[in-house]
Structure 1
Amino acid sequence: MSIQESLLHSVQAIEEHYNAGDYIFREGATPQFYYQIVTGEVKLNSYKEDGKEFIQDILSENSCFGESMLILGKPYTVNAISLSKCIVLKVGREQFFQLLQENPDIFIDMYTTLSEKTSEKLVLMQKISSQNAEERLVELMNQMKDSKENKDKYSFEIPHTRQQLASLTGLSLETTIRVIKRMEKNEILMIKNGKIFY
């Protein structure tokens, strides 16, 4: 879900530039802004007690993030970190709520998107709690491919590295690589020039 950039600029959106690895916000901080990616990629992550990274989501252009915590007024439960050079529009809390009041259709779209994300997360969490590593990866790949029109076998290029897939599913990198090779052998996916096609 994204809001038209012209609308965001009409409520004094600020354009911020980030380099790969920059924190946009940190876990525990108080939400102040609505964020929307113009260009680049952003990951939402947290770290377990042992320091292992858990990636909640990887977002690209026209995606918004942090809006649920902004609406709730509760501290962030994740970090937002740029994965590449990024341009992000941010709108202050008051201006954002003014925008929603003046454009109730945007609020409905946002509510629908948040509901879909919550539903997808619940399904993914059920699969992730499974001990079966292949089930975890298949569910994640199904969710990524679900929004695409072409559902043919091997038609979707997985846009993440093996390390990112591991972090998104709570698996180790070694397990992820081993399972992906087995999935290729079983013709569940195809690897071409190092890229995964599902």
Structure 2
Amino acid sequence: MLINQELLFSYGGEVATFNTKEYIFEENQTPRYYHQIISGDVKLNHVSEDGKELIQSIHTVGDSVCELLLFIDEKYPVNAVTISECTVMKVAKPDFLTMLNDHRDVSENVHKYISYRLYEKFVMMQNIAANSADTRVRGILKYFKNYSKDQSPYSYEVKLTRQQLASVTGLRVETVIRSLKKLEKEKLITIEKGKVYY
């Protein structure tokens, strides 16, 4: 966990539960809470005018969601949507800022976390800028596997659907499927019963 749950409770933290495909917050809302995931997965996305979804990032247990916006007066530029059933700890913005003021070590950890997420965003942007679809798909698989303790071949089960992989990479679903088949022929991934292992 980024921040100890007991500490969050002591600053007014509340637990909220969400079903799959439920919004934690929506684009253009004003940030009022710090959100930390206790269980489940959350995607940050944007839907274009023509209805195409672009997934900005995916967060899991222990991650916080868009905490950086609590430090500036801007509205959410993305939606936070649950990918699975999800439990989230939320702390009101004023209480969260007081907690950071009272606990310098926690404040430093939050700033490191924000810095690391910004670094990841740069890596993702470089990956998406690649011309080759195969490079994009391989890059996103590598990005997500980096969070896994086991780095051996085929040890990481990709939890994203083909559609979600397309939304993260900015590719069409058909292109993602072709790239996955090519990566399988190159023995970089295995596909068993529709599940991808990298």
TM-score range, shorter chain: over 0.9
Identity of aligned residues (%): 38
Could you tell me which runs of 5 or more consecutive residues in structure 1 were left unpaired when the two chains were aligned. none
CA displacement at 1:165 relative to structure 2? 1.0
Question: Is the 1:133–1:171 Cα contact (8 Å) retained in structure 2?
Answer: yes
TM norm structure 2: 0.94
CA RMSD of aligned residues (A): 1.3
3-state DSSP of counterpart to 2:138: helix
Q: Distance in 1 between matches of 2:42 and 2:149?
A: 24
TM norm structure 1: 0.94
Deviates more, 1:126-135 or 1:147-156: 147-156
Q: 1:160 to 1:114 in 2, by over 3 A?
A: same
- Aligned residue pairs total 198
After TM superposition, list the pairs within 5 Å mapping 1:1-198 onto structure 2: 2-198=2-198
Q: Distance in 1 between matches of 2:149 and 2:174?
A: 32
Q: 1:167 to 1:95 in 2, by over 3 A?
A: same
Q: Show CA shifts across 1:56-95 (max 9, x none).
A: 1122222110201112221111001122222211100110
Deviates more, 1:106-115 or 1:141-150: 141-150
Moved beyond 4 Å, runs of 4+? none
CA displacement at 1:145 relative to structure 2? 1.6
Question: Is the 1:11–1:99 Cα contact (8 Å) retained in structure 2?
Answer: yes
Q: Distance in 2 between matches of 1:102 and 1:33?
A: 18
Q: Distance in 2 between matches of 1:164 and 1:78?
A: 16
3-state DSSP of counterpart to 2:95: helix
CA displacement at 1:197 relative to structure 2? 1.0
CA displacement at 1:131 relative to structure 2? 2.0
Q: Show CA shifts across 1:13-61 (max 9, x none).
A: 1221211222111111111000011122211100122210001112222
Q: Distance in 1 between matches of 2:150 and 2:82?
A: 29
Q: Distance in 2 between matches of 1:71 and 1:125?
A: 24
CA displacement at 1:149 relative to structure 2? 3.3
3-state DSSP of counterpart to 1:64: coil
